[in-house]
Amino acid sequence: MPQFLFLLAAVAAGLALFILAVRREGVGRAILQVLRLPALPVLAFTSGVIVVLSSTLNQGDGFIAPAVPALLVLACLAFQTLSRSVLSCGGLIGMACLVACLSVLPTTGLPAFGRPMIVMLPAFGTASLTFGAGTIQHYETNGRYFEGDWNWPVPRAEGRAFAAIYEQAARRLSGQSVAFGVRGFLFNVNMISLYQRLLGFEPARAMTQVDPITIGGTSQGVTKWLTQGQASAMCLLVVSNGVKHQFQPFVPPDVMEAGAVAAGFSNTGTKWVLPGGERITLWRRAGCG
């Protein structure tokens, strides 16, 4: 939240600088000044990241993280260029330090600051003012994993159980073509792909994950996805019997299973029971080896 406000103010400062340059020297010369900026490579990099993230479907958190340091550098340059007075530079340094403190403090795990304080912002959704845990704990809490400790939504013992299941699934799906009919917070295509690489297994030959918005919430939509859509070439299908820990929107388990049966899939008997009782089952398309 503090970083977002800092960057938003920097965008306003950058636009103000460009408008002033246009008024003084015209559009052409103003654009030339931008192209001559020493920070142009940084500006090009961050612009490219924003364009890519804005124009593609991203499932997961943290994709913008590599660009944040560069964005903060550009923000400081914009503020410094807008006013070069000593007072303004001092204010800029103070503002940057404040942003750094406010960004780090909620993740330190300090009990006094750790109780969640979340606000709803119009057009932007929820924003955490304080949250005494790291990013992954925040992510787990959003996934409705909570055992009474905000700093450890998933207890260590359950974390080790998840890791063991990831290893089993990564090994079983190694070298296969797999469709994921589940979009769980802690069990999904990204996690299994990551474990295959970390543990040195052969990566899955192909993997795709269901998009409930595209296929709709009907068994006919599931069947079409498995026979004519992105999953038409996949031999295996991963299905969950629960929706509590899935991203919304989701395809109900009975709808997913009915659509899979109509597409020629059958349950192989392979299953993984996640901590909490959610059961993940593996299905195979008829005719696949």
The whole-number pLDDT of residue 227 equals 94
Q: What is the C-alpha R_g of the chain?
A: 24
Range 77-84, long-range pairs (CB < 8 A, 24+ positions): 77/39, 78/10, 78/13, 78/14, 78/17, 79/9, 79/10, 79/13, 81/13, 81/17, 82/13, 82/16, 82/17
Is pLDDT at 131 greater than 90 in this prediction? no
Tell me what the mean pLDDT of segment 272-289 comes to: 91
The whole-number pLDDT of residue 41 equals 76
Give Dmax (Cα) for the chain.
Answer: 74
Tell me what the mean pLDDT of segment 248-260 comes to: 92
The whole-number pLDDT of residue 17 equals 74
Tell me what the mean pLDDT of segment 181-195 comes to: 92
Q: Which of the two residues, 202 and 151, has the higher pLDDT score?
A: 202
Highest-confidence segment of 72-76, 131-135, 282-286: 282-286
Asked whether the bond before 66 is cis by omega within 30 degrees of 0, the reply is no
Interior/surface letters 232-256, b for 16+ CB within 10 angstroms, e for the rest: eebbbbbbbbbbebbbeebbebebb
The whole-number pLDDT of residue 26 equals 81
Q: Which of the two residues, 132 and 60, has the higher pLDDT score?
A: 132
* Mean pLDDT lowest among 83-92, 176-185, 207-216: 83-92
* Mean pLDDT lowest among 13-17, 174-178, 194-198: 13-17
Is pLDDT at 258 greater than 80 in this prediction? yes
In the chain, pLDDT over 70 holds for what percent of residues?
Answer: 73
Q: Which of the two residues, 119 and 210, has the higher pLDDT score?
A: 210
Interior/surface letters 191-222, b for 16+ CB within 10 angstroms, e for the rest: bbbebbeeeebeebeebbbbbbeebbeebebb
* pLDDT, the chain, mean: 80
130 pLDDT band, cuts 50/70/90, is low
The whole-number pLDDT of residue 23 equals 81
Highest-confidence segment of 123-132, 140-149, 273-282: 273-282
Tell me what the mean pLDDT of segment 169-192 comes to: 93
116 pLDDT band, cuts 50/70/90, is low
The whole-number pLDDT of residue 241 equals 92
266 pLDDT band, cuts 50/70/90, is very high
The whole-number pLDDT of residue 18 equals 75
Q: Where are the beta strands (DSSP E) in the chain?
A: 117-121, 125-130, 177-180, 206-209, 236-240, 265-273, 279-285
The whole-number pLDDT of residue 92 equals 66
Shortest CA distance to 170 belongs to which of 282, 263, 289? 282
The whole-number pLDDT of residue 112 equals 46
The whole-number pLDDT of residue 115 equals 62
Q: Which of the two residues, 243 and 265, has the higher pLDDT score?
A: 265
Q: Which of the two residues, 210 and 71, has the higher pLDDT score?
A: 210
